[in-house]
């Protein structure tokens, strides 16, 4: 039997509801609803428009449930035009990490969730580190220091006094669908309040920074059934009230990594490429050494207890903001021109903090050039080339660091997510890393989402190896082999980062 599963996958620039069909040898996704998502500045605060997202999710679920499937197979098999299957056997939600909603004692949302790129966390990390040392934080949580980690957002939070419960974004949306609160583990692991070895909240850390331990709901693991739909939600979406919402790797990156199409025994790295590029390795255990901390590598929780040993690289965000400022959607045209633009003309460090907040990226690139004694790019195509080469350079540096710190050697780099469609970036990545790149699948997080649901519903996909084999069997990948001169990349790296 084919399962019909809805994957709600929320990214930093768009959200989508996909209908997944999963069965023996079958893994198909149909996008049924796509909607805008992004920062909304009101007064001095950058928000997410969580209610609009919720409304769009309901619309998407209605469409997913109503989309007929199986009609063709039924009539071809002689069963007559009995009509196709409808409804859903499961729903799973994944989104970006670190952000949350606060609820009062009656379960009402206390204001719109604040966007992690909001300036309220400026300078907060330094304040928190006076209460808890960076060494202690890393020893407990194994997390990379990013200014917007939940712990720092909570230290800057002005609604804590009225709050009774904190729900991470996917947990908040699942709560609205089912009435069941909880904290899915892969996303909880990004808060910097989660004990990576004990695999639970660190009440001690929470107390030390003034977060009441009772605020953090019970942890649940990917694969657990959260609960059936509330009656009102079932009516609104036209779905059966028994339809279960299932916890998936609710951190989008955790779901993406499930869908890395690696074969058992492969020595692979992955780049989950979207608004962010998450660059790293999959490990069985966290690495909490001084070198890992120094390298600022994170040990985020993966599905089935794996460790996502990775680093955030600024990703396609800089380019997305350039397109927004230029008022153009013609990325394909710009990429064609960028492919012919001169190589290594201008290079930036994409992880420079000046690129974090939304704004005029072309200007910020110019400012970076001024600071680093470079002529700024003169054309849009040159700027695009600069961003992509600089990203490839950051990938190379991060992968080499990660391999050294984890004591692992990599033979292939899997690029998954939206950025896997960017041919120029994939080729530059292969060139910079000196490794073959396998690109795809594009919709990795939605695939990881439905795979975990399918297993929870009894589909024989016992482990990540089986899930990945199904992805490989059903999705085309594109291979890129390193070209050009490795010495050019060595020179480029020392230009941007020195010889460290
Ligand atoms: C990617 C991602 C990253 C996380 C960043 C902020 O979508 O989830 O993994 O560090 O967004 O939440």
Residue 212's alpha-carbon distances to 108, 147, 165, 470, in angstroms, are 18, 21, 9, 43
| CA 57–ligand 1 middle distance (angstroms) | 20
Residue of 346, 336, 437, 430 whose CA lies nearest to 381? 336
Position 80 confidence tier, pLDDT thresholds 50, 70, 90: very low
Position 107 confidence tier, pLDDT thresholds 50, 70, 90: very high
Report whether residue 253 contacts ligand 1, using a CB cutoff of 6 Å. Answer: yes
| Segment holding 307, helix H or strand E | strand 307-313
Report whether residue 312 contacts ligand 1, using a CB cutoff of 6 Å. Answer: yes
Residue 269 clears pLDDT 60, i.e. is over it: yes
pLDDT at 497: 86
Q: Could you tell me if residue 457 is inside a domain?
A: no
Report whether residue 96 contacts ligand 1, using a CB cutoff of 6 Å. Answer: yes
Q: Which domain holds residue 413?
A: 260-440+462-500
DSSP codes, 68-97: -BSHHHHHHTTS-S---B-S-SEEEEEE-S
| Segment holding 4, helix H or strand E | strand 3-10
Kindly state whether residues 170 and 265 are assigned to the same domain. Answer: no
DSSP codes, 354-421: GGSSSS-HHHHHHHHHHHTT-PPPSSHHHHHHHHHHHHHHHHHHHHHHHHHHHT---SEEEEESGGGG
Atom in ligand 1 nearest the alpha carbon of residue 278: 9
pLDDT at 498: 81
Report whether residue 252 contacts ligand 1, using a CB cutoff of 6 Å. Answer: yes
Kindly state whether residues 36 and 115 are assigned to the same domain. Answer: yes
Kindly state whether residues 66 and 147 are assigned to the same domain. Answer: yes
Kindly state whether residues 239 and 298 are assigned to the same domain. Answer: no
pLDDT at 213: 78
Other CB atoms within 10 A of residue 294 CB? 11
Where do we find the tokens 């942890």? 219
**Mean per-residue pLDDT, 210-218:** 93
Kindly state whether residues 233 and 346 are assigned to the same domain. Answer: no
Q: What is the pLDDT of residues 423-473, one digit of tens each?
A: 999 999 999 999 999 999 999 999 999 999 999 999 999 999 999 999 999
For the entire predicted model, the pTM comes to 0.96
This model of the complex carries an ipTM of 0.98
Which residue among 252, 277, 296 closes a domain?
252
Q: Could you tell me if residue 15 is inside a domain?
A: yes
Kindly state whether residues 241 and 384 are assigned to the same domain. Answer: no
Residue 378 clears pLDDT 90, i.e. is over it: yes
Residue of 113, 119, 120 whose CA lies nearest to 96? 113
Report whether residue 97 contacts ligand 1, using a CB cutoff of 6 Å. Answer: yes
Kindly state whether residues 480 and 413 are assigned to the same domain. Answer: yes
Report whether residue 46 contacts ligand 1, using a CB cutoff of 6 Å. Answer: no
Kindly state whether residues 316 and 246 are assigned to the same domain. Answer: no
**Mean per-residue pLDDT, 400-405:** 98
pLDDT at 79: 44
Residue 72 clears pLDDT 80, i.e. is over it: no
Total domains, the chain: 2
**Mean per-residue pLDDT, 324-341:** 96
Q: What is the pLDDT of residues 120-173, one digit of tens each?
A: 999 999 999 999 999 999 999 999 999 999 999 999 999 999 999 999 999 999
pLDDT at 322: 98
Where do we find the tokens 């600071």? 371
pLDDT at 499: 57
**CATH, residue 417:** 3.30.420.40
Which residue among 215, 234, 252 closes a domain?
252
Report whether residue 299 contacts ligand 1, using a CB cutoff of 6 Å. Answer: no
Atom in ligand 1 nearest the alpha carbon of residue 190: 10
Atom in ligand 1 nearest the alpha carbon of residue 99: 12
Report whether residue 94 contacts ligand 1, using a CB cutoff of 6 Å. Answer: no
Report whether residue 233 contacts ligand 1, using a CB cutoff of 6 Å. Answer: no
**Is 252 labeled as catalytic in the residue annotation?**
yes
pLDDT at 391: 98
Position 77 confidence tier, pLDDT thresholds 50, 70, 90: very low
Position 81 confidence tier, pLDDT thresholds 50, 70, 90: very low
Atom 2 (ligand 1) nearest CA: 96
| CA 253–ligand 1 middle distance (angstroms) | 7
Kindly state whether residues 306 and 401 are assigned to the same domain. Answer: yes
Q: Is the dihedral of CA 347, 441, 227, 231 positive or negative?
A: positive
- Cα–Cα distance between 244 and 92 in angstroms, integer? 9
Query: Ligand 1 pocket check: which of 9, 12, 37, 96 to mutate, most ligand atoms within 8 Å of Cβ?
Result: 96
Structure tokens at 473: 């069997």
Query: Ligand 1 pocket check: which of 168, 190, 316 to mutate, most ligand atoms within 8 Å of Cβ?
Result: 190
Residue 485's alpha-carbon distances to 171, 196, 375, 409, in angstroms, are 47, 41, 24, 22
**Residues 276/317, Cβ–Cβ less than 8 Å:** yes
Atom 12 (ligand 1) nearest CA: 97
Kindly state whether residues 267 and 350 are assigned to the same domain. Answer: yes
Kindly state whether residues 45 and 141 are assigned to the same domain. Answer: yes
Residue 22 clears pLDDT 60, i.e. is over it: yes
Which residue among 252, 274, 295 closes a domain?
252
List the catalytic residue out of 49, 94, 252, 431. 252
Atom 6 (ligand 1) nearest CA: 97
Q: Could you tell me if residue 277 is inside a domain?
A: yes
Mean pLDDT of the chain: 96
């Amino acid at each position: 039997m084919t399962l019909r599963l809805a994957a709600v996958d929320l990214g930093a620039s768009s959200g989508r509801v996909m209908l997944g069909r999963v069965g023996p040898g079958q893994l198909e996704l149909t996008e049924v609803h796509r909607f805008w998502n992004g920062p909304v500045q009101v007064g001095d605060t950058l928000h997410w428009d969580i209610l609009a997202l919720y409304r769009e999710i309901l619309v998407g679920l209605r469409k997913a449930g109503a989309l007929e499937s199986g009609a063709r197979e039924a009539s071809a098999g002689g069963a007559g035009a009995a009509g196709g299957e409808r409804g859903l056997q499961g729903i799973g939600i994944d989104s970006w990490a670190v952000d949350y909603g606060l609820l009062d004692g009656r379960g009402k949302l206390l204001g719109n969730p604040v966007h992690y790129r909001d300036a309220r966390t400026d300078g907060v990390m330094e304040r928190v580190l006076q209460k808890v040392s960076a060494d202690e934080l890393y020893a407990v949580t194994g997390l990379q220091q990013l200014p917007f980690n939940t712990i720092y957002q909570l230290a800057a939070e002005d609604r804590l006094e009225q709050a009774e419960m904190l729900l991470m974004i996917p947990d908040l949306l699942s709560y609205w669908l089912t009435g069941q609160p909880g904290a899915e583990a892969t996303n909880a692991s990004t808060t910097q309040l989660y004990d990576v070895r004990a695999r639970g909240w660190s009440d001690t850390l929470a107390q030390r920074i003034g977060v009441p331990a009772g605020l953090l709901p019970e942890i649940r693991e990917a694969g657990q059934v959260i609960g059936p739909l509330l009656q009102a939600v079932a009516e609104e979406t036209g779905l059966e009230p028994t339809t279960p919402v299932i916890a998936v790797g609710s951190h989008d990156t955790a779901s993406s990594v499930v869908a890395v199409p690696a074969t058992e025994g492969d020595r692979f790295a992955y780049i989950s490429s979207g608004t962010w590029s998450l660059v790293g390795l999959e490990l069985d255990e966290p690495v909490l050494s001084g070198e890992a901390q120094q390298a600022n590598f994170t040990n985020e929780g993966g599905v089935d207890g794996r460790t996502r040993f990775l680093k955030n690289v600024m990703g396609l965000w800089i380019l997305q903001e350039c397109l927004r400022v230029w008022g153009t959607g013609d990325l394909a045209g710009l990429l064609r021109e960028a492919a012919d633009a001169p190589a290594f003309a201008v290079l930036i460090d994409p992880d420079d903090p000046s690129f974090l907040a939304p704004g005029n990226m072309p200007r910020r690139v110019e400012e970076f050039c001024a600071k680093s004694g470079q002529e700024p790019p003169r054309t849009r195509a040159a700027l695009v080339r600069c961003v992509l080469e600089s990203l490839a350079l950051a990938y190379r540096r991060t992968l080499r660091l990660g391999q050294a710190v984890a004591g692992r050697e990599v033979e292939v780099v899997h690029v998954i997510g939206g950025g896997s469609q960017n041919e120029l970036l994939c080729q530059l990545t292969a060139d910079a890393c000196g490794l073959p790149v396998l690109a795809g699948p594009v919709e990795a997080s939605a695939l990881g989402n439905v795979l975990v649901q399918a297993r929870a519903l009894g589909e024989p996909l016992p482990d990540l190896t089986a899930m990945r084999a199904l992805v490989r069997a059903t999705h085309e990948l594109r291979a890129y082999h390193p070209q050009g001169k490795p010495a050019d990349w060595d020179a480029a790296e020392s230009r941007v980062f020195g010889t460290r």
